[in-house]
Structure 1
Amino acid sequence: TLFSEDGRLIAQSYREYPLYHPKPSWSEEEPGEVWRGVVETIKEVMVKTGVQAEEVKALSVSAQGEAFMPLDRGLNPLYRCITTWDDRAVKQHEDFLRLIDRAELFKITGHPSSPVYTLFKLIWFKQSKPDIYEKTWKFLLWEDYINMILCGVPAIDYSLASRTMLFDIRRLNWSHEILELSGLDVDKLPEPYPSGVVVGEVSQEASRETGLARGTLVVTGGHDQACGTLGVGAVNPGITYVATGTVESIVAPLHAPMLRQEMIPMGFASYCHVVSNRYLILGANPSAGILLRWFRDRFGEKYIEESSKRGVSVYDLMMEDASKAPAGSQGLLIAPYFMGAGTPNWDTYARGLILGLTVAHGKPEIIRAIVEGITYELRLNIETLEKFNVKIEEIRTVGGGARSSFWLQLKADVTGKRVVVPEITEASSAGAAMLAGLGAKVYGSVDEAVSKFYREFKTYQPNLKVKEVYDRFYNVYVKLYPEVKSIYREVFQILEELGGQ
């Protein structure tokens, strides 16, 4: 994505890359395919705009967390990139928790322990692929991998380093204690830097491959959620960043890390912001937009046909229908735990729950109940954070869910918060561009960068009469999970016992 110095989005390009599943619970990416996508999108943006390579002053990378790959000294990948939702390291996770208390691990890293994090997969490498581990020069995540290819420096920023569960978020360096307990080598890890710092310049070789000018500044970027938070101007407490896509993420800025032990079973993570001397707290609902896709694919034939005929988005048609149903969906409640419960219930055994379905309900009510359930979870996260004295006054939202006026108003009505859609919805890219500008001294401060990039596009205020209706349904909704929590495990046990029958 290419931005001007005054914060205008000039052009963007997009590529997809496949996920590989060599075993059912494994998930991998091919580094060469991702890098090829990076090169193609850079070239495509330059061609689209006619911008000369020399006019690009600096670049930064906004990257997914946790995913990493081993490289030799020639920068050749020795194995595919292992992604977040790969669960090959369950045993390593369990073994490691025998060496250190879960609360102590949280105190160091700000993350509730889980097999998804890089730490445990690195231990898996050392145990299961010792030959590859020994040959590895550096284990790199996507930001440091791209930086390394561009400028020859394996530089990772604090926010992305935080997502490995190897990083001490208060000392701002790799944790000696975790490294010692794990037996991992610190010299196989990239060097951590603050975000917005120049770590090198595009090399001659990288220039030939990408079309970028030699000498273009390479600046540390950050974790996509942290970059997105900066991208909507959420620097100080009070503003919350909500990205509603397949998953819904809720991110709030803090002046200091929040490391209260009662947060551990809730799943909240507290880690470094891309803004110096700021931290974040991150919550998530894993079953957000994916539920609407599930409904479309299983029950949305009429919406798909109409979409094709009218040339409009199938989701716009679904939202249009949902808006015709009354608030509360005529008593239909759907808990969106179709892929487990996220924060604050944090339960992998949990599954979707539908309560109050009658023969009077149709597709409009069911779609609306899905959207309401997702938004009740947003409110539950906000209220939980507020109990921990996290200040949340306004929601700034992007993603697929931010394209629907109906859903945006519903967010305001359910949460009681002012909801804002920014003019630039490519928030993570905008945040990375701000960091590039800060590194290149285009902007003298974070506040100046935000003033150039962040502009409100549309705002939604709560309708107090509708909120009263939602308050009543929400008070019933929050009773559902505690009532059925133990039943989820019973069902899981039955399925385990039945096995392949």
Structure 2
Amino acid sequence: MEYIIGVDIGTTSTKVILYDDHGTQLARANNGYQLYQDAAGMAEEDPDAIYQAVLTGIATVVGAGGIAPTAIAGLSFSAAMHSLLLVDAHLQPLTRLMTWADTRARGAVATIQRTIASTDFFAHVPIPAHPMTPLAKLMWLHHRRPDLLQQAHYVLGIKEYILARLTGQLVEDYSIASATGLMDVRSLSWYPAALSLAGVRLDQLPPLVDTGYQLHGLTPAAVQATGLSPQVTVVVGASDGVLSNLGLGAINPGAAAINIGTSGAVRVMTDRPLVAPHHDLFTYYLAPHQWVVGGATSNGGNVLQWLQTALFPQLPGAAAQVGSTSTATLLRALANIPAGAAGLLFVPYLHGARAPLWDANARAAFHGLNAEHSRLHMARAALEGVAYNLKRVLATVINVTGPVTTVAAAGGFARSPLWCGILASVLDGPLAIPQGVDSSARGAAMLGLRSLGVTTQPLIDNLQQHFQMVPPQSADVAVYAQLYPLWCQLVDQTRAVDDQLATFQTLHAGKAGAGDYHGQ
């Protein structure tokens, strides 16, 4: 029997899970950290707090797993994409970590769009122009804080920082790099035109390696903090999105994966990098001959969290993460509200829009509100709005990859039968829900086992035996078939107003406006 730890460094927390080679979960830890939003568009985190969450999580599962630390063959990593961290030559952070949700680089998007329109840039770097990308963030920093870029010895994402702290070795995998806007997917190397646009040098970026690349030997400090053997193999791993597909078994043609965690995503596996003709989908690397085409949304479980704090503050722990007691209480109440929320629509762009619009200026809105609607109708409409947006993303993906025959879904939302039922009925097709919702951590473990030469077929077989099928409800399908076209029309017709409101909100956000830098 082989044992491996999958580490998933997420937006709001790090999940660490100890598995055996059949996919049985032996121990699990989940440790959160603060998201700093001190200014309009800011979404930053403390990289050292994330590192401590990783160490604590590993130590927890090593202590609780019931096996000797020397029996653990390896660690394998998943991480959220699009993060940016500037460090000095000693890996000391010069800034806080800018996450994917940070939109202060909106001003760089127009320049990227012009580059895409006038050159073959997108054929080499197939990721839509958006302030989430490290490319846009670096352009913004080059304009706002050129002194920081000059001080930076390295330009990293969170996974590269964590791996360097654990092992003393600095590398970046093709998967994370393919989501930066800086890597050429044709040559699997840093793209000179992108580096020039970003204002960074090649020597500021880590060497690129494949996702199965192994790092050998933990630092003495990491050994002491985690309880692991110094000889444990560390597999670099990949990004959370592509690993979710792997962890859900959605790796064959026609198999789609949908995640709703903090944000959301729709992804389909292909055997080569496909380029969306309208520049509205990403293409990310997983492994040789395994690429993912899809679109991510900025609004998923964070919409439900906003509902709890904004509309239902009286619930105990209303500001807690999705999955809390207050969430369960709210979702039970929403089950009594009929599909369609009595004709109330919600556009869920509380955090701007990624796919399918790729518009950081997009804003959220309720439409159709009347005196008969309650807060519960508003909450039901919000969950449906998230599902409508995912349906639109899936349609965009299908136009590039071809028909989808199965949809597997995971993320925190999968704990809710109500939300799963809403999504199944909006999509008018069954959802396959795994027994556990930690698909990215499982995918990291599978990739790690593959790197270590251990077959993953027993794990895949075990996974397929434990899917729960959530069917669409015919009456709800009919309701959503009427409302979805109206929702799409509403989104398209309000974009000009959204642009003006975004400008107004930026100008009136106080002294710490979108153009101010708030690093360390």
Instruction: Quote the residue 2:384 is aligned against.
Output: 372
Instruction: Quote the residue 2:71 is aligned against.
Output: 55
Instruction: Quote the residue 1:381 is aligned against.
Output: 393
Instruction: Quote the residue 1:400 is aligned against.
Output: 412
Per-residue CA deviations over 1:366-417 (Å, capped at 9, x if unaligned) read: 3222222221222222222223343322221122221111221221111012
Aligned to 1:456, what secondary structure does the other structure show? coil
Instruction: Quote the residue 2:343 is aligned against.
Output: 331
- Once residues 93 and 70 of structure 2 are traced to their aligned partners in structure 1, the CA distance between those partners, rounded to angstroms, is 30
Instruction: Quote the residue 1:340 is aligned against.
Output: 352
Contact map agreement 2:331 2:418 (CA 8 A) in 1: yes
Of 292, 307, 315, 2:327 maps to 315
Contact map agreement 1:118 1:164 (CA 8 A) in 2: yes
Change (3 A) 1:120 1:464: closer
Q: How many residues in Structure 1 have an aligned counterpart in Structure 2?
A: 493
Please tell me whether residue 213 in structure 1 is matched to residue 229 in structure 2: yes
Q: Which runs of 5+ in 2 are unaligned?
A: 1-16, 512-520
Q: CA deviation at 1:104?
A: 2.8
Greater Cα radius of gyration, structure 1 or 2: 1
Aligned to 2:32, what secondary structure does the other structure show? coil
Please tell me whether residue 234 in structure 1 is matched to residue 250 in structure 2: yes
Instruction: Quote the residue 1:76 is aligned against.
Output: 92
Aligned pairs for 1:463-482 (under 5 A) are 463-482=473-492
Contact map agreement 2:101 2:351 (CA 8 A) in 1: no
Answer 1 or 2: higher relative contact order, Cα 8 Å, separation at least 6: 2
Root mean square deviation, CA, Å:
3.2
Please tell me whether residue 149 in structure 1 is matched to residue 159 in structure 2: no
Aligned to 1:15, what secondary structure does the other structure show? strand
Change (3 A) 1:352 1:151: closer
The letter for the 2-side match of 1:353 is A
Instruction: Quote the residue 1:85 is aligned against.
Output: 101
Please tell me whether residue 426 in structure 1 is matched to residue 438 in structure 2: yes
Contact map agreement 2:106 2:360 (CA 8 A) in 1: no
Of 194, 198, 213, 2:210 maps to 194
Aligned pairs for 1:15-414 (under 5 A) are 15-20=31-36, 24-90=40-106, 101=117, 104-123=120-139, 133=149, 136-262=152-278, 264=279, 266=280, 268-272=281-285, 274-300=286-312, 303-304=315-316, 313-414=325-426
Contact map agreement 2:129 2:358 (CA 8 A) in 1: no
- Once residues 208 and 306 of structure 1 are traced to their aligned partners in structure 2, the CA distance between those partners, rounded to angstroms, is 37
Contact map agreement 2:346 2:382 (CA 8 A) in 1: yes
- Once residues 301 and 188 of structure 1 are traced to their aligned partners in structure 2, the CA distance between those partners, rounded to angstroms, is 46
Q: CA deviation at 1:432?
A: 0.8
Change (3 A) 1:397 1:498: closer
- Once residues 243 and 257 of structure 1 are traced to their aligned partners in structure 2, the CA distance between those partners, rounded to angstroms, is 21
Contact map agreement 2:105 2:136 (CA 8 A) in 1: yes
Q: CA deviation at 1:171?
A: 1.3
Q: CA deviation at 1:437?
A: 0.9
Change (3 A) 1:411 1:45: same
Contact map agreement 1:227 1:428 (CA 8 A) in 2: yes
Of 460, 463, 466, 1:456 maps to 466
Identify, as 1 or 2, the structure richer in helix.
1
- Once residues 508 and 450 of structure 2 are traced to their aligned partners in structure 1, the CA distance between those partners, rounded to angstroms, is 58
> Which is worse superposed, 2-11 or 181-190?
181-190
Change (3 A) 1:175 1:491: closer
> Which is worse superposed, 322-331 or 404-413?
322-331
Contact map agreement 1:155 1:199 (CA 8 A) in 2: no
Change (3 A) 1:174 1:489: closer
Q: CA deviation at 1:24?
A: 4.5
Instruction: Quote the residue 1:416 is aligned against.
Output: 428
- Once residues 86 and 317 of structure 2 are traced to their aligned partners in structure 1, the CA distance between those partners, rounded to angstroms, is 46
Contact map agreement 2:212 2:237 (CA 8 A) in 1: yes
Contact map agreement 2:195 2:201 (CA 8 A) in 1: yes
Contact map agreement 1:143 1:222 (CA 8 A) in 2: no
Aligned to 1:270, what secondary structure does the other structure show? strand
Contact map agreement 1:323 1:364 (CA 8 A) in 2: no
Contact map agreement 1:109 1:271 (CA 8 A) in 2: no
- Once residues 72 and 425 of structure 2 are traced to their aligned partners in structure 1, the CA distance between those partners, rounded to angstroms, is 43
Q: CA deviation at 1:278?
A: 1.5
The letter for the 1-side match of 2:20 is S
Contact map agreement 2:138 2:199 (CA 8 A) in 1: no
Q: CA deviation at 1:159?
A: 0.9
Aligned to 1:44, what secondary structure does the other structure show? helix
Contact map agreement 1:102 1:112 (CA 8 A) in 2: no
Contact map agreement 2:212 2:235 (CA 8 A) in 1: yes
The letter for the 1-side match of 2:394 is I
Aligned identity (percent) is 27
The letter for the 2-side match of 1:346 is W
Aligned to 1:287, what secondary structure does the other structure show? coil
Change (3 A) 1:485 1:90: closer
Q: CA deviation at 1:277?
A: 0.9
- Once residues 192 and 35 of structure 2 are traced to their aligned partners in structure 1, the CA distance between those partners, rounded to angstroms, is 33
- Once residues 44 and 498 of structure 2 are traced to their aligned partners in structure 1, the CA distance between those partners, rounded to angstroms, is 30
Q: Which runs of 5+ in 1 are unaligned?
A: none
- Once residues 46 and 320 of structure 1 are traced to their aligned partners in structure 2, the CA distance between those partners, rounded to angstroms, is 36
Contact map agreement 2:295 2:355 (CA 8 A) in 1: yes
The letter for the 2-side match of 1:475 is P
